[in-house]
Amino acid sequence: MRVTEEIKSRLDIVDIVSDYLPLRKSGRSFSGFCPFHQNTRTPAFYVFPETQTWHCFGACAEGGDLFSFVMKKEGWDFKEALAKLASKAGVELEPFNPVNKKKQATEDKMAALLAAAADYFHMLFLHAPQAEAARNYVAQRALNEETIAVFKLGYALQSWNACRTHFQDQGYSDSELLAAGLLTENPDKGTRYDRFRNRLMIPIRDVNGRIAGFGARTLEKDGIPKYLNSPQTKLFNKSHLLFGLDGAKRHIREARQVVIVEGYMDVMQGWQAGFRNMAAQMGTALTEAQLRQLKRYTKRFVLALDADAAGQKATMRGLQVARETLDREVEVKFDARGLVQHEGRLQADIRIVTLPEGNDPDKIIRTDSAQWLQLLAQAQPVVAYVIDMATRDLDMTDAKAKTAVAQQVLPLIKDIVDPVERDHYWQALARALRVDERALRQIQVQEKPRVYSHPAMPPPPPSLSELEMPPPSQSGKIVRRISDGRMAAGKREANYLSQCLHHPQIMPQVNQRLAQNQQPPVNASDFTAAEDRLLLQQMVRWREGRAVASIDELCDSLDEALNERVQSLLALSPTPESELDRLADKLALSVLNWRQEKIGQLVGEVKQLFRKEQALDNTDAREMYEKLNEWTLAVLRIHKAKSAMSAVSRRKAEDLGNGRF
């Protein structure tokens, strides 16, 4: 099996897409709001489990397979998508080439080194006399033996080269130690020394429990920095990792909520006290990558912010002050607008809890765990929280100050995706500012009207039954007919690519026949599989402006994964050179057939949707209606083109026959 097929056979597109947006069952498909365009009323995005494909029936009018979905959503190229999905599917990718093979081996070796380093630091923590201060510090924080063991707390000696020597003796080179972030280099003098010295070592694991780096706390009074992290390495990426997630994920799922805190100690303290659905963001604002990872386990996030970061400074006013004083740190820690946008994109529920001045979760959990639970229960939605903070000390007689607050909060409200929720905050802000909501809405000079009223729906599209479209009501029957059709379509796509690889000169000939019948040339969107789309694009480029194009030339320009596809396509037997004219006719007709089938399937889906959905007087539905009309016309045109082509073929065959006799 080709590697892309292997991956597709192991993953379910419904699961993967569900990581990004909620889907609901809708007949034999799943529907949701399109993640690629503004889509809030009628779900325009469909996933078809049978064919493992997706399609947006709204503004995007685009679709594809699992690969094209993640490529579009994550901005990955095919290679990245392949690597990510392969690891998700547990498919081992054959290294593309010796360079990549070496890269993988380097990463594995780095992981092994970091694991060994964690063991080394842990042993020192437990047994070294020099680790007394570290042990005292941990005892002060009331962490018990079990917690120390679970998190594998460690100690780095007060030395410039203890760690370096230890691992050199085990065969690791300086460059490996540098790459793993255990060693550091003075750029001026070129000297190398242990990065972590006299620090409490806290291993940071990725979601699968593999050690990716360390957080290291100083044990010296007023030591700077208080926490020293591993540098960015192949395995350590702060904006993707969350401390404690590997151990917390099961508990997050059970508790249906994750509590996001700032510090390692908070997570460990929580763990020890039985609050195990906690993870720490490690000093940066939450990134979408982090939230996405968490979203596999829950849709509900509670951010517990320190009073100093959250309180005054976290308000919009505070952010402005922070910017003025160039206090970047505060600016990035709490990004309310970013959170609201994440919330909308991820369809998540993000809440904020502020801790009492001078307290962190660690301290509260240690001293009064009932209070911790109470605080969590009081968590507020982001916008409510910002309104609260921004108006808390507001002088209600100062009109200008009120306008300023309104202007700061309004962008947040505008970003809210859900219309009911949005309306709720319009009212809430008006109340908090003690102004009329209508006045507030007038500040909104830039906001586009969101609720469209439009005249009656366009007339329903003409019936397609005369075009031999399967009637959408007899579902059992259609399933078979459609999927047969699709398998045939898949084969037709493969046949087209295969023939064009064998006979590149046929590509313009097929396009010419299509053009003669007012049909667009064969293009990437004619293909279902992401790799076929890429392959076609490469083939078009390969063919452009050349009389002769060799397969080797094409293969040189392709990734290994596409090369594999080319080889399997070349294995299909070519049509003899003598029959190329007929082949061009056949392929052009074949293209039209599969185009018609694909549109037919889409039409069937949309019609089914319209039968089910009651409230159709909105923009999304209107868009779909228009699309339906468009497709209907497209099918009529294809039908016409097919008739014309068939007539030409018949005439040619007759001429040929006449010639023979």
Which positions lie near Zn ion, rule CB under 5 A?
34, 36-37, 56, 58, 60
C-alpha distance from residue 550 to each of 171, 248, 440, 508, 553 (Å) = 48, 55, 67, 16, 5
Q: How far is the CB of 44 from Zn ion (least distance, A)?
A: 6
Nearer to Zn ion, 36 or 96 (CB): 36
Give whole-number Cα distances, 101 to 82, 97, 105, 108, 169, in Å: 15, 6, 6, 11, 26
Residue 62 beta carbon to Zn ion: minimum distance, rounded to whole angstroms: 7
Min dist. Cβ of residue 58 to Zn ion (A)? 5
Cis peptide, bond prior to residue 225, ω within 30 of zero: yes
Instruction: List residues bridging with 485 in a β-sheet.
Output: none
CB of 72 to Zn ion, least distance (A): 10
- Rank residues 35 and 604 by Cβ distance to Zn ion and give the closer one: 35
State which residue, 33 or 301, has the beta carbon closest to Zn ion.
Answer: 33
Cβ closer to Zn ion: 33 or 542? 33
CB of 68 to Zn ion, least distance (A): 13
Amino acid at site 280: A
Neighbours of 570 (CB within 10 A): 15
**Cβ proximity of 549 and 556 under 8 Å:** no
What 3-state DSSP class applies to 506? helix
Looking at beta carbons only, is 36 or 76 nearer to Zn ion?
36
Strands 349-354, 380-381: parallel, antiparallel or unpaired by DSSP? antiparallel
Which of 293, 291, 259 is CA-nearest to residue 275? 259
For 512, other C-beta atoms within 10 Å of its C-beta total 12
Provide, rounded to whole angstroms, the least separation between the CB of residue 605 and Zn ion.
14
Is the CB of 313 or the CB of 627 nearer to Zn ion? 627
Q: Which residues lie below 8 Å from residue 34, measured CB to CB, with a gap of 6+?
A: 43, 44, 45, 56, 58, 59, 60
Beta carbon nearer to Zn ion, 73 or 637: 73
Q: What is the CA radius of gyration of the chain?
A: 31
CA 514 – CA 517 distance, rounded (Å)? 5
Least distance to Zn ion from the beta carbon of 522, Å?
24
- To Zn ion, the closest distance from the beta carbon of 423 in angstroms equals 24
Task: Return the DSSP state at 468.
Answer: T
| Exposure string for 617-655, b = 16+ CB within 10 A, e = fewer | ebbbbbbbbebbeebbebbebbbebbeebeebeeeeeee
Least CB distance from residue 60 to Zn ion, whole Å?
3
Q: Which amino acid is at 358?
A: G
Nearer to Zn ion, 36 or 193 (CB): 36
Nearer to Zn ion, 14 or 307 (CB): 14
Query: Least separation, in Å, of the C-beta of 7 and Zn ion?
Result: 24
Residue nearer to Zn ion on the CB measure, 56 or 204? 56
Q: What share of the chain is helix, strand, coil (3-state, %, to 5)?
A: 60, 10, 30
Q: Between residues 54 and 78, which has the closer beta carbon with respect to Zn ion?
A: 54
For Cα atoms 265, 266, 268, give the angle at the middle one, nearest 5 degrees: 65
* Structure-derived torsion over alpha carbons of residues 430, 431, 434, 438, reported in degrees to the nearest 10: 30
Q: Select 42 or 408, whichever has its Cβ closest to Zn ion.
A: 42
Least distance to Zn ion, CB of residue 21, Å: 11
Distance between CA atoms of residues 180 and 236, nearest Å: 9
Q: How far is the CB of 57 from Zn ion (least distance, A)?
A: 8
Closest contact distance (angstroms) between CB of 38 and Zn ion is 9
Nearest to Zn ion of 391, 601 (CB atom): 601
In the complex with Zn ion, which residue's Cβ is closer, 206 or 623?
623
- What single string gives the DSSP state of each residue in 598-641? HHHHHHHHHHHHHHH-----SHHHHHHHHHHHHHHHHHHHHHHH
Nearer to Zn ion, 75 or 98 (CB): 75
Q: How far apart are CB 36 and Zn ion at their closest, in Å?
A: 4
Nearest alpha carbon to residue 276 among 295, 294, 257:
257
Neighbour-count burial of 60, counting CB atoms closer than 10 A to its CB (0-12 exposed, 13-18 middle, 19+ buried): middle
CB of 623 to Zn ion, least distance (A): 9
DSSP tag of 470: P
Least Å from the CB of residue 446 to Zn ion: 24
Closest CA to 241 of 305, 293, 167: 293
3-state SS track over 316-374:
HHHHHHHHHCCCHHHHHHCCHHHHHHHHHHHCCEEEEEECCCCCCHHHHHHHCHHHHHH
Chain centroid to Cα 608, Å, comes to: 29
Containing 279, the helix (H) or strand (E) segment is strand 278-280
Distance between CA 78 and CA 70 in Å, rounded? 9
Residue 26 or 538: the one with the smaller Cβ distance to Zn ion is: 26
